[in-house]
A = this chain, B = another copy of it.
């Protein structure tokens, strides 16, 4: 049954013969709208100010070594610049650190969509053993011992005492301000026809046509927020580095895979950890494409260093994987076409967003 379904789906896409047919089937590219409202955590100036301090505060980790910004560094595209992220001291992480930029628009956070809000993503990162390894109660007591935080929590939330869940809310509100929607692409879509070069315009046509990027990278976000196996090559780190092996085995163990999968696994299994359906092995959520000029290396395991490699990978129809999506086919792009596509991709990034790290407000002795 599963094999039949795949064949049927494949046939559907192979039957799409014209660019018009392709664009009709998938949501159109479009400029980004305003950041979605979050009624249970509305944005205020006081929350932004508090959240910014917390985003850079290392005391939100177990051993006060690691802030959100340690792996989401504004100077590194709001990621950490490594193929697979550094981890909490004494550990290494197992996935590429994704940018915070425009994460405000995502409904599925992390590479396999494990969280559904910035608030819960922050919680996972703060407490995750390979990330912040923090304990909520400890963190709460630390924040309560900082007069500046006592003041700011009161201002932002009206409470007498900082709490961990409110800290997550403030961080999420700050992250919702880290947005770019004024890239050349957006300007072009908003009517400034000179915002894109001719090459980028050709690349945009290819993106929506011959190169078939729009099959997954569609809509204003340039992500369908769905999960696909594109056959990303294994990262040899998981075979050559004892610490990376520990990180991978820990994930398999913690996520409750079978003994057989645990023993044999040498790669990130993506959506499978959540669903435990074999057909979901190797599926990852389509990442949005804005700001990508600043977020190398690419893919969930950072195996590609440049956008050139990425385009080359797709041109060949993706990687080798028995479960690879039928959406991927060889593209036969010319060198010029690949260049045009790259020009378009670069037009998605706009100005770099730099936020300087504020000093951590100090502890104080409290009488109460």
Q: Which residues of A contact B (CB under 8 A)?
A: 58-59, 61-65, 88-91, 129-130, 133, 135, 137-138, 140-142, 144-145, 239-243, 245-246, 249-250, 253-254, 263, 363-366, 368
Q: Are A144 and B89 in contact (CB under 8 A)?
A: no
Instruction: Give the docked Cα–Cα distance between A125 and B359 (Å).
Output: 33
Contact of A63 among B59, B88, B137 (CB under 8 A): B88
A63 and chain B: residue at smallest CB distance: B89
Q: Are B89 and A365 in contact (CB under 8 A)?
A: no
B residues near A88, Cβ cutoff 8 Å: 62-63
Contact of A366 among B58, B64, B245 (CB under 8 A): B245
B residues near A145, Cβ cutoff 8 Å: 242-243, 245-246, 249
B residues near A89, Cβ cutoff 8 Å: 63-65
Q: Are B366 and A242 in contact (CB under 8 A)?
A: yes
B residues near A364, Cβ cutoff 8 Å: 242
Q: Are A142 and B246 in contact (CB under 8 A)?
A: yes
Given the known A-B contacts A62-B90, A88-B62, are A249 and B141 also in contact in the complex, defined by CB atoms under 8 Å?
yes
Q: Give the shortest distance, in Å, between A65 (CB) and chain B (any CB).
A: 7
A127 and chain B: residue at smallest CB distance: B135
B residues near A144, Cβ cutoff 8 Å: 246, 249
19 A-B interface contacts by CB (under 8 A): A62-B62, A62-B63, A62-B88, A63-B88, A63-B90, A63-B91, A64-B89, A65-B90, A91-B138, A129-B137, A141-B246, A141-B250, A141-B253, A142-B246, A144-B246, A145-B246, A245-B365, A245-B366, A246-B363
Instruction: Give the docked Cα–Cα distance between A64 and B90 (Å).
Output: 5
Q: Are A241 and B365 in contact (CB under 8 A)?
A: yes
